[in-house]
Amino acid sequence: MDHVKYVLDILPFILSGLQLTAKIYFATLIFALPLGLLAAIGKVSGPKIIKWILFLYTWIWRGTPLLLQLFFVFFGLPVIGIRLPDFAGAILTYTLNYGAYLTEIFRGGIESIDKGQYEAAKALGMTYPQTMRRIVIPQTIRRVLPPTCSEAVNLVKDTPLLAVVAMPDLLRISNQIFTRDSDITAFIVAFVLYLIISSILVKLFSILEKKYSIYE
């Protein structure tokens, strides 16, 4: 009973960390998804300078560790006089990182659409933006749904990196409780919470994929 009471005592603190984790998670998805889609369109059909800029963006953000990117935003930018609020810095870093991966996922989806559909749309008098909006993008979203859902699940497992930059997320709060009490119960609770959240997301995305995705 004493152990159960201890869990109930620390649970509100752990859930406060979970609240920050959830905010980072959903904010990242809200910004990274449209960023990835727009950047993918730019890489496929934008002018040469835009394609070059987007190539550099995806090359840099996919080619370096997320942890290093967090260090750069939190500790590197202040050195050159740019200091962002912690929450904004975290959202910026995660959005740019996941946006880069989603850019390549969406780009692959767009380029998988048969070229004949572009020609048919043109023959019907549709402009390029109309073709993208009405024909290409809807099919692309269905084609890239599985890898996009996989990235969304991975994001949950990347949020604990916030603890390294001293943000009070689920893992950092659990570690603070462990340091205070020398009891691993907080880590066990965090472990269970991460597992539950990931399992729920995997199930939800699995249902989504079966309903909407295209399997070639």
Reported as a single tens digit per residue, the pLDDT across 79-112 is 999 999 999 999 999 999 999 999 999 999 988 8
Q: Which helix (H) or strand (E) holds 193?
A: helix 185-212
Instruction: State the residue for tokens 């406060």.
Output: 16
User: What integer best gives the mean pLDDT of the chain?
Assistant: 91
> pLDDT tens, 35-89?
999 999 999 988 999 999 999 999 999 999 999 999 999 999 999 999 999 999 9
- At 47 the pLDDT is 92
> Which of 20-24, 144-148, 207-211 has the weakest average pLDDT?
207-211
Q: Show the domain range for 20.
A: 2-212
Crossing angle between the packed helical segments 185-212 and 2-45, to the nearest 10 degrees? 40
Residue type, 208: L
CA terminus-to-terminus distance, the chain = 54
CA distance 25 to 62: 19
User: Domain with 46 in it: what CATH number?
Assistant: 1.10.3720.10
- At 216 the pLDDT is 47
Number of structural domains (the chain) is 1
Residue type, 42: G
Helices (H) and strands (E) in the chain, counts: 10, 0
Q: Which two tokens stand for residue 184?
A: 């691993």
Is residue 147 within 8 Å of residue 214, measured between CB atoms?
no
* Contact partners, residue 92, CB within 8 Å, separation at least 6: 73, 84
CA 2, distance to chain mean position in Å, is 39
Which of the listed ranges 104-118, 181-195, 200-214 does the model predict with the highest average pLDDT?
181-195
SS3 of residue 15 by DSSP: helix
Is residue 28 within 8 Å of residue 154, measured between CB atoms?
no
